Amino acid sequence: MVLRTIFNTVHRMVYPFLGTFARGLGVDITALSFALTGRSLMGAFVPFIAAVSDQRGRRFGMLAGTALFTLGVALVAIWPTLWTLTAALILALLGKNLFDPAMQAYFGDRIPYERRGLALAVTEIGWSLAFIIGVPAMGLLIARYGWSAPFPVLAVLGLGMFGVTWWMAPRRDAHHFPNRNLWANFGAVLRNVPALAGISIALWATAGNELVNLIFGVWLEDSFGLQIAALAGASAVIGLSELSGEGLVALLTDRIGKPRALFLGLLANSAAAVLLPFIGRTEIGALIGLFLFYITFEYVLVSHVPMMTELVPGARATVMAFNVTGHSLGRAIGAFLAPFIYRQFGFLFVALLAVVFNILGLLALRSLQKDGSGQ
């Protein structure tokens, strides 16, 4: 959880500090948007990178991911330019996408399926803690010492992460026998219908979330004449809703079963999406609506992870890597459609399209359960 908080802080801090980074570098914000585009494109290569954890072992994957992360942030610490920042964003994401599937597979190898939801939910708390603790801490450093101030601190934390992983992860892993054939691992996933259905759940659910995620700030500005940053407590509401979603997974998902939790989560997220345009006519209503939308999506997201770890046990890291690609494609679909739908039809139709994507996710879940692989 602590290590993932550090990884996720770098991933999340770019958005609120995008303008600050641009001013510090003396470039237009468009230049940084290209850096973010390059970072997003890396999602397509995740299976080729993260599958190394099935070939070389979970420890190798986690250490390699931490090393890439540390190298990236150290570049900016030593030489703060647009090019090193771009390289840092790409290397940090590659590191995260190496570490996360390896870590999830590591837990999947060791923890019984009936308790895995709780364990992985704890690690997912690092996502919300990055927003609640990590990003504000980086903001304090930036305010006091300048835009590049977080990167030396992050480089030191990266070295610490590497040391902790080196110490904690066993060199000889009796729970995993590496399969060095990359294409055999790929085939095991791509020929597995439940695995493909599970990956498509990630794609559709994330596409629906990204539709709202990308547009709600513009919608609030149009509705109230305010930027989202000006709504008191909006960031805290989003962070706390994510934390609450992770807490619900830890409390409920193992008890009621992963597929049932996903089914209820997708239904609840659809209801929250439909409700949002109607209760969001006031600032307080908008905050309540955002809380409901994000808590239900986080519940879906975190309930989905432990289920995926059991679909192809012999290629766990490869499955989780393809799952990351599903999320990346979902974000791309949502980001592509959201501005057009909003300009042409309004926020209600954005919310309704999010429901359509959730329904596609429910159909994929039904396909997975028909095969008998969902438990």
CA–CA gap between residue 253 and residue 242 (Å, rounded): 15
Residue 78 domain flag: yes
Those residues with Cβ within 8 angstroms of residue 372's Cβ, 6 or more apart along the chain or in another chain: none
Q: Are residues 25 and 61 in the same domain?
A: yes
Contacts of 99 (CB under 8 A, 6+ apart): 3, 4, 7, 61, 62, 65, 66, 69
pLDDT in tens, 164-203: 999 988 887 766 666 666 677 788 888 899 999 999 999 9
Say which range, 22-26, 47-51, 270-274, 333-337, has the weakest mean pLDDT.
Answer: 47-51
The answer to whether position 181 is within a domain reads: no
What pLDDT is attached to residue 251? 85
pLDDT at site 229: 47
Q: Tens digits of per-residue pLDDT, 45-88? A: 777 776 777 777 888 889 999 999 999 999 999 999 999 998 99
Number of neighbouring beta carbons within 10 Å of residue 218: 16
Structural domains counted in the chain: 2
The reply to whether 147 and 212 lie within a common domain is no
Token pair 């499955």: residue: 319
Question: Which secondary-structure segment (H or E) carries 256?
Answer: helix 254-256
Task: Answer whether residue 242 is part of any domain.
Answer: yes
Domain match, 331 and 363 both: yes
Are 14 and 143 part of one and the same domain? Answer: yes
In a domain, 153, yes or no: yes
The pLDDT tens digits of the residues spanning 132-158 come to 888 888 888 988 899 999 999 999 999
Q: Residue 363's domain is classified under what CATH number? A: 1.20.1250.20
CA–CA gap between residue 177 and residue 53 (Å, rounded): 11
Q: In 18-51, which positions are buried (b, 16+ CB within 10 angstroms) versus exposed (e)?
A: eeebbebbeeeeeebeebbeebbebbeebbebbb
284 with 240, same domain: the answer is yes
Range of the domain at 342: 186-370
Is pLDDT at 375 greater than 60 in this prediction?
Answer: no
Count of other CB atoms within 10 angstroms of residue 144 = 8
Give the predicted TM-score (pTM) of the model: 0.76
Q: Are residues 70 and 111 in the same domain?
A: yes
Gap between the Cα atoms of 163 and 175, Å rounded: 22
What does the pLDDT look like over 229-283, one tens digit per residue? 444 445 667 778 888 888 888 888 888 888 999 999 999 999 999 999 998 888 7
pLDDT at 179: 65
Average pLDDT, the chain: 85
Both tokens of residue 150? 């977080």
Last residue of a domain, one of 107, 141, 169: 169
Tell me whether residue 163 is exposed, middle or buried, using C-beta atoms within 10 angstroms of its C-beta: 0 to 12, 13 to 18, 19 or more: exposed
Would you say residue 334 has pLDDT above 70? Answer: yes
Rounded to an integer, what distance in angstroms lies between the CA atom of residue 129 and that of residue 317?
Answer: 24
CA distance 87 to 91: 6
